[in-house]
Structure 1
Amino acid sequence: MPADEKPIASVWTRPRRGREQLSREQIVAEAVQLLDTDGLESLSMRKLGTRLDAGATSLYRHVANKDELIELVVDEVYGELEIPATDTADAADWRTLAARSAYSLRAMILRHPWVASVLGQVGLIHLGPNVTKMSERMAAVYKAAGFPSDETGHAMKTVISYVIGMATSEAAYLSLIARSGKSEREFIESLRSGGGEDPQVEDPGKARDETFDYGLRRVLDGLQVRLDEIPGDAAE
């Protein structure tokens, strides 16, 4: 790096401040609660400061701006993911490991619907510890499966893209139901014009799970076809 060129500032490389009444962990925890309750459009340093009974100036001692705050909260919820280590099962069972990772990512997005809309702006310069760790674990699943090194990331991103797309749509649907004040079953029944039994009405949560699972299995089927095409020494 040239002597006159300054490194790009990042919340992950900035030294933490010493003991203060308000900590970065408190700020992040409260921000996640605010986002879960009111959505991304409600997030502001001023509103967050009010919830913490602190001025915005106190927050800026720990977080330079809203973009840095988003990096922190995304990394926080990424820590909820349960990504199995590749040494916990035979590599031949990669589909099970990939599916478990996908289910965990979907569950996290449904708990925090706002996260899907900000994933694209996180980690462009520096990755937080949870995002780094979980991304490496997910990539290891596809590497152990036998994908060549130049395809590992593509395989992982293909599955992640499916999960984010499905979970984002699902979260928007559930938010609409929540605003209606009805249960999911009541909401579906109110849209039906005919009678008769409908599994989607009887157990709508199960129906959503089955829809997600069907698509995930077909995506993994496609990746398995690609794996079967790869020569045995190509993944070395």
Structure 2
Amino acid sequence: MARPRKPLLSRERIVETASVLVDAEGLEAVSTRRLAAELGVSGPSLYNHFRNKDEILDAVADAVSAQVDLSMFDEGDGRDWSTALHDWAVSYRAALTEHPNIVPVLARGPGRRPAGLRVADAVFGAMVRSGWPPAQATYIGALMRYFITGSALGSFARGFVDDETAYDPADYPHLGQAHLLADRQQKVDEGAFETGLRALVDGLAVQYAAMVRA
């Protein structure tokens, strides 16, 4: 029988299949047995490409990090550090909201993941070039990761039920409209993110101006 022109298995196929499972069913859906079944191969063949499930999930997370736009940090881009930081955060959150189930893995930090490390390197490098001391640039990178991944881990609006009887004004006098939040999830969550992001960047700008004057 003729050999197939393309190998039956590759890192890319494994990551793509695992990504689909994570997006559809969550992290718990990924196992070497399940992946092997989805790919139509034997379980041990996966170990030619990944040592274990954690490495596969790391690769899925890194594929999401690779979707984040970093062009605003290029030296010739022309945006100042605060605008670049804002625009990058918007791009980062957009990638995470497309793949919310992988956020807990991303929230652990980049580890050895190449795309994740490129993100960290780009943010740190841009802040230092702009005049932030290295320690402060590190704090800014950490702060932004906390804020962005935290915003993508859950939905404030989805935390309320679409049932006005659940919010008796005798008990919750200020939640008379809370039952409407679930239906307005995207608007509420995007508005909250932009409000928080502006507050963070504007606050950093105040610190930066004080630092420059000192």
User: Does 2:135 correspond to 1:147?
Assistant: no
- Aligned residue number for residue 74 of structure 1: 61
The answer to whether the 8 A contact 1:46-1:56 is kept is yes
Counterpart CA distance in 1 for 2:78 and 2:109 is 32
1:53 to 25, 31, 40: 40
2:210 to 226, 229, 232: 229
TM-score normalised over the length of structure 1 = 0.73
- Aligned residue number for residue 186 of structure 2: 205
* Residue 22 (structure 1) shift: 0.5
CA change 1:207–1:22 in 2 (3 A) is same
Counterpart CA distance in 2 for 1:130 and 1:62 is 18
Q: 1:82 is paired with a residue of what secondary structure?
A: coil
CA change 1:169–1:31 in 2 (3 A) is same
- Note the aligned Cα RMSD (angstroms): 2.8
1:191 to 163, 169, 187: 163
Counterpart CA distance in 2 for 1:202 and 1:48 is 35
Counterpart CA distance in 1 for 2:11 and 2:118 is 20
Counterpart CA distance in 1 for 2:107 and 2:147 is 15
- Aligned residue number for residue 111 of structure 1: 98
The answer to whether the 8 A contact 1:75-1:129 is kept is yes
Counterpart CA distance in 1 for 2:109 and 2:145 is 15
Counterpart CA distance in 2 for 1:138 and 1:29 is 27
The residue identity in structure 2 corresponding to 1:74 is: A
Q: 2:86 is paired with a residue of what secondary structure?
A: helix
2:78 to 87, 90, 108: 90
The residue identity in structure 2 corresponding to 1:228 is: A
Identical counterparts, % of pairs? 28
Q: 2:132 is paired with a residue of what secondary structure?
A: coil
1:62 to 49, 68, 71: 49
Q: 1:155 is paired with a residue of what secondary structure?
A: helix
Q: 2:94 is paired with a residue of what secondary structure?
A: helix
TM-score normalised over the length of structure 2 = 0.80
* Residue 173 (structure 1) shift: 6.1
* Residue 123 (structure 1) shift: 4.2
Counterpart CA distance in 1 for 2:38 and 2:157 is 28
Q: How does 1:152-167 map to 2 (within 5 A)?
A: 152-167=137-152
CA change 1:204–1:152 in 2 (3 A) is same
Note the residue ranges of structure 2 that are not aligned, 5 or more in a row.
1-5, 168-175
The residue identity in structure 2 corresponding to 1:147 is: W
Higher relative contact order (CA 8 A, sep 6+): 1
* Residue 146 (structure 1) shift: 2.0
Counterpart CA distance in 1 for 2:15 and 2:207 is 41
Q: 2:62 is paired with a residue of what secondary structure?
A: helix
The answer to whether the 8 A contact 1:94-1:145 is kept is yes
Number of aligned residues: 198
Counterpart CA distance in 2 for 1:120 and 1:200 is 26
Q: 2:75 is paired with a residue of what secondary structure?
A: helix
Q: 2:14 is paired with a residue of what secondary structure?
A: helix
- Aligned residue number for residue 214 of structure 1: 195
Counterpart CA distance in 1 for 2:84 and 2:181 is 28
